[in-house]
Each structure stands twice: as structure tokens, then as C-alpha cells.
């Protein structure tokens, strides 16, 4: 049997949080604390980014992993919330299993277009370069704490992790979902940073136009990870939307 590393907090309607390529479970700490206190069961599985054979390190396989995890936990009618790569995984899963997803929340999601740090991570041994590139993910560079920068630096200087990181990034670019998005009828909330450099605002507009049942909300002075940079505003937007959604059920 597969073993899973995950956080499981609170009781009630299940929200599964899906982290990004360079993200971790801690990225959602404020979301987890807030919603687990509001009648939600918040679950964050760790995606097997560095654990699979290189040929299986793709967004589609991560969606299969999510499917297995949901079966393992015996969850029904889940809310999926994904940042960056996690949003992409949530989209693939929602397209494949529409009856298993109550609603979908995307923030800085890949699936259409994303800027990356480059295919080869030039100057990856230069700490200041990696620090600067990590800071560019956020509007406020102070959000990129030393702990976050250290983690990225370690990842890109670990050859095994780097190879997998690049493989996933290429897989995400190849798996463009423009033709599939109109088929996803799941109620979808897009929460986007106005200053996102990784998945710029035009990406959010395109998601909004292609997803037939979507609503787009902006957060000012915010980059690629709104739930980290402006957690209070992020949680407020999300709880208001979810409350209105439950009124319709």
C-alpha cells in the first residue's frame, strides 16, 4: 500500500490544498488555521515531486496520485484549492472526475502559460541569484524568508531534484489545457495577484474566459502566492465565495 505524507486538520466539508512545484505544506498555514476553525476539514497531501521515476514525473501522474489519495481517504465531493502546479493538477483531476469535485479554487495556476526561472537555472550555485529569483515570486520580497530561499537553493543544487523540477516544469508547459477548460463546468474561483510575474494577469483573464463557471477576484500588491502574501484577504475572498456556493446547494 502507498504511504502518504499529509496534513489533516479540522472537521466538516473537505478542502484539499495542492502546493506548487517549489512549494510545501507550510505555504498554506494561514489557510489551514483559518478554515479548520470554520467547519472545514483541511487536508494537504505532499505531491511526490522527488519520489517518482523520472519518466513518471508529470502533471498527469500527479493527478493520478491525487485520485489515489482521495480514494485512500474515502473523500466525496471535495473542494480543491491549488496554487501554481497544484492548480494544474486540480484542473486535470476535475476534468477527469467532475462528479468528485464540488468546487475548484485556482491561484497563480499553471495550465495555460507560466514563466519559469529558465530551463537550466543559470547561476544556480550563486545564492544571491537564487535569492533574487525567489523574491520575484512575491510582490513583497520580504515574504521570501531565508528559510524559503535556502530550500530553493538546496533544491536547484541537488542534481536529482533539479532534474525532476525541470521535468515537471516541461510537462506542465506541454500539457496546455486551453482546449479542455471549456469542458470543466465545476464552479471555479480564481484568486490572482495583480503583480504575478510567473502566471501574469492575462493568464487569469484567459482562465476566466475559458472556464464556463468561473469568477475572478484580484488582490493588489500581490505576486504568485496570494495565500502566503495576503492570507487575510485571500481567506476573506474564499470564505465569502464558499458561503454563497453553499447557499445554492
pLDDT tens sequence across 91-131: 999 999 999 999 999 999 999 988 764 455 667 789 999 99
Instruction: Specify the pLDDT at position 23.
Output: 74
β-sheet bridge partners, residue 18:
82
Asked if the structure places residue 123 within a domain, the reply is: no
- Split at pLDDT 50, 70, 90, the class of 16 is very high
Q: How far apart are CA 175 and CA 62, in angstroms?
A: 13
Instruction: Specify the pLDDT at position 248.
Output: 43
As a whole number, mean pLDDT of residues 73-78 equals 96
As a whole number, mean pLDDT of residues 69-78 equals 96
Q: How far apart are CA 112 and CA 106, in angstroms?
A: 12
Instruction: Specify the pLDDT at position 32.
Output: 97
Q: How far apart are CA 40 and CA 48, in angstroms?
A: 25
Asked if the structure places residue 137 within a domain, the reply is: no
Structural domains counted in the chain: 1
Asked if the structure places residue 62 within a domain, the reply is: yes
SS3 177: coil
Torsion angle of the four alpha carbons 186, 189, 195, 199, in this order, in degrees rounded to the nearest 10: -10
Q: How far apart are CA 104 and CA 106, in angstroms?
A: 7
Instruction: Specify the pLDDT at position 7.
Output: 94
Asked if the structure places residue 216 within a domain, the reply is: yes
Q: Model-level pTM? A: 0.93
Asked if the structure places residue 167 within a domain, the reply is: no
Instruction: Specify the pLDDT at position 1.
Output: 55
pLDDT greater at residue 99 or residue 246: 99
Q: How far apart are CA 109 and CA 113, in angstroms?
A: 9
Asked if the structure places residue 153 within a domain, the reply is: no
As a whole number, mean pLDDT of residues 38-49 equals 95
Asked if the structure places residue 201 within a domain, the reply is: yes
pLDDT at 78 over 60: yes
Q: Identify the domain containing residue 104 by its residue range.
A: 6-115+177-248
For residue 196, the domain's CATH number is 3.40.50.1820
pLDDT at 146 over 50: yes
Helix/strand number for the chain, H first, E second: 9, 7
Amino acid at each position: 500500500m502507498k504511504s502518504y505524507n499529509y496534513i489533516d486538520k479540522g472537521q466538516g466539508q473537505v478542502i484539499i490544498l495542492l502546493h506548487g512545484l517549489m512549494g510545501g505544506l507550510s505555504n498554506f498555514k494561514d489557510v489551514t488555521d483559518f478554515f479548520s476553525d470554520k467547519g472545514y476539514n483541511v487536508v494537504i497531501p505532499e505531491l511526490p515531486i522527488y519520489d517518482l521515476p523520472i519518466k513518471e514525473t508529470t502533471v498527469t501522474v500527479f493527478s493520478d496520485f491525487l485520485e489515489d489519495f482521495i480514494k485512500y481517504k474515502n473523500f466525496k465531493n471535495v473542494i480543491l484549492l491549488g496554487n501554481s502546479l497544484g492548480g494544474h493538477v486540480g484542473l486535470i483531476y476535475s476534468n477527469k472526475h467532475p462528479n468528485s469535485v464540488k468546487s475548484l479554487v485556482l491561484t497563480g495556476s499553471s495550465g495555460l502559460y507560466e514563466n519559469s526561472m529558465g530551463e537550466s537555472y543559470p547561476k544556480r550555485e550563486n545564492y544571491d541569484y537564487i535569492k533574487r529569483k525567489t523574491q520575484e515570486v512575491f510582490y513583497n520580497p520580504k515574504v521570501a524568508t531565508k528559510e524559503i530561499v535556502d530550500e530553493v537553493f538546496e533544491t536547484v543544487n541537488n542534481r536529482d531534484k533539479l532534474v525532476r523540477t525541470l521535468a515537471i516544469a516541461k510537462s506542465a508547459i506541454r500539457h496546455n489545457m486551453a482546449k479542455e477548460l471549456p469542458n470543466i463546468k465545476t464552479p471555479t474561483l480564481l484568486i490572482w495577484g495583480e503583480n504575478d510575474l510567473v502566471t501574469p494577469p492575462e493568464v487569469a483573464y484567459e482562465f476566466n474566459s475559458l472556464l464556463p463557471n468561473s469568477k475572478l477576484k484580484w488582490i493588489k500588491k500581490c505576486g504568485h502566492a496570494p495565500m502566503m502574501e495576503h492570507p487575510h484577504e485571500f481567506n476573506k475572498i474564499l470564505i465569502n465565495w464558499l458561503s454563497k456556493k453553499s447557499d445554492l446547494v
